[in-house]
Amino acid sequence: MKRSQLGSSIFLLIFGILFCLEAQKLPIGRVTRPGPGFFPFWLGISLVIISLALILSWSRKSLNESLSSKGLWKGLKWEKVFITLVALLLYAFFLEWLGYCIATFILISFLFCVIGGLRWWVGVLGSILTSLLTYTLFRLWLEVQLPRGLWGL
C-alpha cells in the first residue's frame, strides 16, 4: 500500500467515526425496527473497520519492506529521467515558436516512442490524438489562448 492509500485510510477512519457520532444523534433503533440513524451508524462502523484493516495491512507491509532494506532509488532509470527533463525544457523553449499543436505533437511522439518504447506508428497516432484532443479541450471548449507559432496552427 502506498502512502497516499494510508492517507485515504486515515481519512476514511476519521470520516467513519464522525459518521457514527452524528448518527447517534438520531434514534438508531434495532435490527427488527430500525430508526433513522440505523443505516448511517452501521455504515460508519463499516468504514471504521475497513479503514483499520487497511491501516494494519499498510503498517505490516511497510515493516516488512523496511526490514528487507530495499533501496528507494534502486532500479530507477536515471537516463530516462534526464532525457525527459531535457525534452520538457526544449518543449517549453520552442512552444511559442512552433505553436502548441506542433510542439505538443513532437514532445508526445518523443515520449511515446523513445522514452516509452512504443512502436513508431502507435506513438505517432497517439501523439496526433493527444495533440488534437488537448487542443480541442483547451482552445475550443475552455477557450484558453494557446501559442499559434510561425504557421498559425
> Would 90 be classed as within a structural domain?
yes
The residue-averaged pLDDT of 134-147 equals: 88
**Higher local confidence (pLDDT), 78 or 22:** 22
Q: Are residues 59 and 92 in the same domain?
A: no
Q: Are residues 49 and 90 in the same domain?
A: no
> Would 32 be classed as within a structural domain?
yes
> Would 55 be classed as within a structural domain?
yes
pLDDT tens-digit readout, 55-98: 888 777 765 655 555 555 566 777 888 899 999 999 999 999 99
> Would 57 be classed as within a structural domain?
yes
Q: Are residues 60 and 106 in the same domain?
A: no
> Would 123 be classed as within a structural domain?
yes
pLDDT tens-digit readout, 102-126: 999 999 999 999 888 888 888 899 9
Could you list the residue range(s) of the whole structural domain that residue 13 is in? Answer: 3-68
Residue-level pLDDT at 1: 54
Specify the length of the chain in residues. Answer: 153
Question: Which of 110, 143, 109, 147 lies closest to 129 in space, CA to CA?
Answer: 109
Position 8 confidence tier, pLDDT thresholds 50, 70, 90: confident
Q: Are residues 91 and 130 in the same domain?
A: yes
> Would 147 be classed as within a structural domain?
no
CB neighbours of residue 46 within 10 Å: 12
Residue-level pLDDT at 103: 92
Among 14-18, 45-49, 57-61, name the one with the lowest average pLDDT.
57-61
> Would 146 be classed as within a structural domain?
no
- Rounded to a whole number of angstroms, the CA Rg of the chain reads 26
> Would 153 be classed as within a structural domain?
no
Q: Are 118 and 112 in contact (CB under 8 A)?
A: yes
Residue-level pLDDT at 66: 57
Helix (H) or strand (E) holding 133: helix 120-135
CA atoms within 13 A on the CB side of 140: 7
Domain boundary residue, one of 68, 89, 123? 68
Question: Which of 24, 46, 43 lies closest to 35 in space, CA to CA?
Answer: 24
Q: Are residues 64 and 90 in the same domain?
A: no
